[in-house]
Amino acid sequence: MQPSFTLDVALAERSYPILIGRGLLGACDLAPHLAGRDCLVVSDATVAPLWLERLAPSLRGARVETQVLPAGERHKSLAAAAAVIDALAGMHAGRDATVVALGGGVVGDIAGFAAACYMRGIAHLQVPTTLLAQVDSSVGGKTGVNHPAGKNLIGAFHQPRAVLIDTDVLGTLAERELVAGLAEVIKHAVIADAAFFGWLEEHVDDLLARDPAALAHAIRRCCEIKAEVVAADEREAGRRALLNYGHTFAHAIENVQGYGAWLHGEAVAAGMVLAAELSGVDATEVARLRALLTRAGLPVAPPEGSRPKLAAAMRMDKKNLGGEIRFVLLERIGEAVVGRAHSRQRLDEILAP
Amino acid sequence: MQPSFTLDVALAERSYPILIGRGLLGACDLAPHLAGRDCLVVSDATVAPLWLERLAPSLRGARVETQVLPAGERHKSLAAAAAVIDALAGMHAGRDATVVALGGGVVGDIAGFAAACYMRGIAHLQVPTTLLAQVDSSVGGKTGVNHPAGKNLIGAFHQPRAVLIDTDVLGTLAERELVAGLAEVIKHAVIADAAFFGWLEEHVDDLLARDPAALAHAIRRCCEIKAEVVAADEREAGRRALLNYGHTFAHAIENVQGYGAWLHGEAVAAGMVLAAELSGVDATEVARLRALLTRAGLPVAPPEGSRPKLAAAMRMDKKNLGGEIRFVLLERIGEAVVGRAHSRQRLDEILAP
């Protein structure tokens, strides 16, 4: 079966396709994207019972072993990556082995990082099963795990060989996970495409109702935006930082709450509102953003009482460069900028108790 | 103070200098090679008391913290790399921090790998203090740690910003470490430069006597050979594998003995003889190699009784690609080749009890 849509992430010798379509899992042959015969499928306790068996025909002919990790952000640790490496060593995987990440962002980040470190880098495929992973974390080669001092503090840039997005898997996704994914969908519109933001205002109910055509359109547009940004700036020397819009606040929220208390997308939603407020854009723009997030069922403010703690948490954020916190700011809906100075006073106001 | 000799490793935007000279430690200003103000010097319990204080003036102006690791190959573990990452997080190091590895190959590999993983890659400098690290492991960007299933099984390619080689530090090097380093010196000659091999036959006693001029010449020639090979093939897709001459056997020896029982260079010496025997070169060539290694005080055979265990250990070697063990073989002294088939029967004979 052919994917209904293929996008390319253009990175010279590291270029790879994103295959998007309905029912691809099990129907799409992944053999052309494997480095060799050995294959370790990494999944988690939530996703494995639902989709692991369905994936099998896509890997026909490969020598497949499976590793099921505990589910959840709090398990995204160096220990989890080490467990994947142990599994690869245990199957005597060589340099031509391939890691296949079947799951959400946590599984993709852990499995991708393990692939980056095993024998100084083996191939990996991403098969994202959450909306958030499909529109964001599976594309672009950022891999990593959390450290008590900060989210994704340990990691590597390691591009996958291919990303397989089956929109059907969203059918079993928990409502809260779907909603959290919409935060990253909205983020792509906010930073790069005002028309797409308008489309989302019209179609947010269709997305919540899991209308396949609406989901496919949103996923495709997000992947296009992300692929274009990543191709222009693979290692986040500049432009790629746009994708972090709302994330400086979001990481701080997650850090203060403890990883996993809020879903990443929920923290991003609140973070995007804070970043819009910090940007000093027109109040009607902030109101439009709040309204869309609210209709999607997302939070538009950080947790009660957390604001004073966010400043300290942000100082440990990866994007903090030598003490100066660099925010991605909004010019208007559909256009974000990196590197514009922010108002200290405005930040203090936003983070006041 | 200017280094008496500077070599460049030509890797486009990842190019860097190797500074070689007497008395550079503390005299050479490293500021131009730091990414920012924050700096974590990683050393070990053997080297720190000898050279840490001497290094300080080279880092004047930087905010320097220090981490001293336990010494020895058996501490080259993921836990050690995690400890370096903890130290970076503890000092709130940002993306512009620099890790400075002051020590032998173990320190350089751990510190370099931690730098590769921290925030998906920060800068590092290598300040090698053993002959082995000066002629081999500090140049070329291979970083990593051991796993119970194999040496350097976890790692990354991560080039340093600069390598600072002070030949004076070899004055305090233990005799056994100096001798082990000579194995890698001899390796560079064997794989790439017959004239240099001849020079070593004439000057091995000078090197053992730590004659500064002889050491400087040998280090420079090894770095030239290594820099040229790495520039041609950074990620070991082909030619760089030449540098692994003798290492398939050597890693097996280290694995069978337990890491640290034999020094890496000692295992490489025995491994080079085994590889020469497997290559089927003229017996006089093998004899020349044995003679030079013996004069240098190095072993020319694997440990008593270990031969039958080496085959199993080699199957787990990183250079094993999908089940087929690929040896680097010798055409003659001064010329090695990658990818030539070896005789199974000859291998069985070599590894017979």
Q: Best of B117, B143, B230, B325 to disrupt the A interface by mutation (most A CBs within 10 Å)?
A: B117
CA distance A244 to chain B (A): 14
pLDDT value for B1: 54
Instruction: Choose, from B76, B124, B161, B184, the residue flagged as catalytic.
Output: B184
pLDDT value for B129: 97
CB B243 within 8 A of CB B190: no
Asked if the Cβ–Cβ distance from B37 to A144 is below 8 Å, we say no
Instruction: Choose, from B75, B158, B161, B226, the residue flagged as catalytic.
Output: B226
pLDDT value for B261: 85
What ipTM goes with this model? 0.92
Q: What is the mean pLDDT of chain B?
A: 93
How confident is the model over A279-324, as pLDDT tens digits? 999 999 999 999 999 999 999 999 998 998 998 888 766 555 455 6
Which residues are B177's β-sheet partners?
none
pLDDT value for B193: 97
CA distance B206 to chain A (A): 37
Active site residue B318: no
Residue numbers of chain A with a pLDDT score lower than 50: 321
How confident is the model over A186-227, as pLDDT tens digits? 999 999 999 999 999 999 999 999 999 999 999 999 999 999
Which residues are B120's β-sheet partners?
none
Active site residue B158: no
CA angle A111, B40, B161 (to 5 degrees): 75
Asked if the Cβ–Cβ distance from A117 to B156 is below 8 Å, we say yes
Q: Could you tell me which chain B residue has the CA closest to the CA of A313?
A: B92
Choose the weakest-confidence range: A144-148, B109-113, B237-241, B269-273: B237-241
pLDDT value for A316: 65
Band (B318; pLDDT cuts 50, 70, 90)? low
- Does position B177 have pLDDT exceeding 90, yes or no? yes
Q: Could you tell me which chain B residue has the CA closest to the CA of A314?
A: B92
Tracing tokens 């660099």 back to the chain, one arrives at: A326
According to the 3-state scheme, what is the secondary structure of chain B? CCCCEEEEECCHHHCEEEEEECCCCCCCCCHHHCCCCEEEEEEECCCHHHHHHHHHHHHCCCEEEEEEECCCHHHCCHHHHHHHHHHHHHCCCCCCCEEEEEECHHHHHHHHHHHHHECCCCEEEEEECCHHHHHHHCCCCEEEEEECCEEEEEEEECCCCEEEEEHHHHHHCCHHHHHHHHHHHHHHHHHHCHHHHHHHHHHHHHHHCCCHHHHHHHHHHHHHHHHHHHHHCCCCCCHHHHHHCCHHHHHHHHHHHCCCCCCHHHHHHHHHHHHHHHHCCCHHHHHHHHHHHHHCCCCCCCCCCCHHHHHHHHHCCCCEECCEECCEEEEECCEEEECCCCCHHHHHHHCCC
pTM: 0.93
Residue among B116, B147, B318 whose CB faces A95 most closely: B318
pLDDT value for B320: 55
What are residue A337's phi and psi, to 5 degrees? -135, 150
Band (B341; pLDDT cuts 50, 70, 90)? confident
How confident is the model over B133-157, as pLDDT tens digits? 999 999 999 999 999 888 899 999 9
pLDDT value for A258: 78
